[in-house]
A = this chain, B = another copy of it.
């Protein structure tokens, strides 16, 4: 299969759906709508929504009914970037090669744009999915809230902040990442499998895939931060080191971090072994993570 083509097509589906589903930009409050669009439509790989769709496809589910839920995951991801970039948090000026939301607008607008996106995510996640038992959808939405909240992404962000400027162990670092980025990525494949009508075994397998994929993603991100350059990444490279932030590279060195990432990729592929070629996009996606670091 042509992974690049697949990713481009899915990305366009997601971006088209986001355009359709977003509040119209001319509606008041205009400045807030503009800030939301600026952040949400400013590029990005759309990894989380694509994972929702790819997992649903792997269990034979249709794509169109799942687009609102997939877009909800992108809204949550984007809000987290807007808030993480704030002066009181990571204080970043550059994101995806452009000024961060609070730089392009102002701090108050950025706080509210994040709040609005997070809230909108749940409005989208509650869009009725044709042919789906609403009880399952309600449960998938509750899982999304858990994985995005204090026992998931927000909790991981807090742990990450608390770990700055002190030395932490590898298990502690892993715990940060399992929460900060892993929870939402696992949630994407889990939700896709459930909303797509997967069997309990398929759901379990795709959850395991998502878990390994999330860790592989974070480790390769650390490697890119260490060896990448600012231009390619669209954000400031070497940020972690500059902040004395522990990373897989600082704890393991780049070579062993690569080995760790490779092991996670193997784990993710292993989880997909019960699936036929319907899971090839998921296989390609996780392999691609590793390729970026070379």
Q: 25 A–B contact pairs at CB < 8 A?
A: A23-B150, A28-B155, A28-B159, A29-B150, A29-B155, A29-B158, A31-B162, A83-B111, A88-B108, A108-B161, A111-B111, A112-B158, A112-B161, A115-B118, A115-B154, A116-B155, A119-B148, A119-B154, A122-B141, A122-B142, A123-B142, A126-B139, A128-B138, A134-B134, A137-B138
Residue from the list B31, B112, B142, B161 in contact with A157, Cβ < 8 A: B112
Q: Check: A203 CB closer than 8 A to any chain B CB.
A: no
CA A274 – CA B12 in complex, angstroms?
A: 52
CA A46 – CA B189 in complex, angstroms?
A: 38
- Flag if B142 contacts A138 (CB, 8 Å): no
Q: Which of A182-239 contact B (CB under 8 A)?
A: none
Residues of A at under 8 Å CB distance from B? 23, 27-29, 31-33, 36, 79, 83, 86, 88-89, 106-109, 111-112, 114-116, 118-120, 122-123, 126-128, 133-135, 137-139, 141-142, 145-146, 148-151, 154-155, 157-159, 161-162
| A282 CB → nearest B CB, Å | 27
| A121 CB → nearest B CB, Å | 8
CA A79 – CA B135 in complex, angstroms?
A: 27
Using Cβ atoms and an 8 Å threshold, which residues of chain B touch A33?
Answer: 150
Using Cβ atoms and an 8 Å threshold, which residues of chain B touch A23?
Answer: 150-151
Residue from the list B138, B151, B155 in contact with A138, Cβ < 8 A: B138
The 3 A-B pairs of least Cβ separation, nearest first, read A123-B145, A88-B107, A119-B149
- Flag if B116 contacts A119 (CB, 8 Å): no
In this complex, the member of A31, A79, A83, A123 whose beta carbon has the largest number of chain B beta carbons within 10 angstroms is: A123
| A12 CB → nearest B CB, Å | 25
Using Cβ atoms and an 8 Å threshold, which residues of chain B touch A161?
Answer: 108, 112
Using Cβ atoms and an 8 Å threshold, which residues of chain B touch A83?
Answer: 111-112, 115
Using Cβ atoms and an 8 Å threshold, which residues of chain B touch A141?
Answer: 122, 126, 138, 141
CA A137 – CA B88 in complex, angstroms?
A: 37
Using Cβ atoms and an 8 Å threshold, which residues of chain B touch A133?
Answer: 134
- Flag if A122 contacts B150 (CB, 8 Å): no
- Flag if B119 contacts A150 (CB, 8 Å): yes
Residue from the list B31, B88, B112, B120 in contact with A145, Cβ < 8 A: B120
- Flag if B123 contacts A158 (CB, 8 Å): no
CA A150 – CA B159 in complex, angstroms?
A: 29
| A294 CB → nearest B CB, Å | 35
| A28 CB → nearest B CB, Å | 7
Using Cβ atoms and an 8 Å threshold, which residues of chain B touch A89?
Answer: 108, 111
Using Cβ atoms and an 8 Å threshold, which residues of chain B touch A139?
Answer: 126
CA A149 – CA B75 in complex, angstroms?
A: 13
CA A159 – CA B149 in complex, angstroms?
A: 27
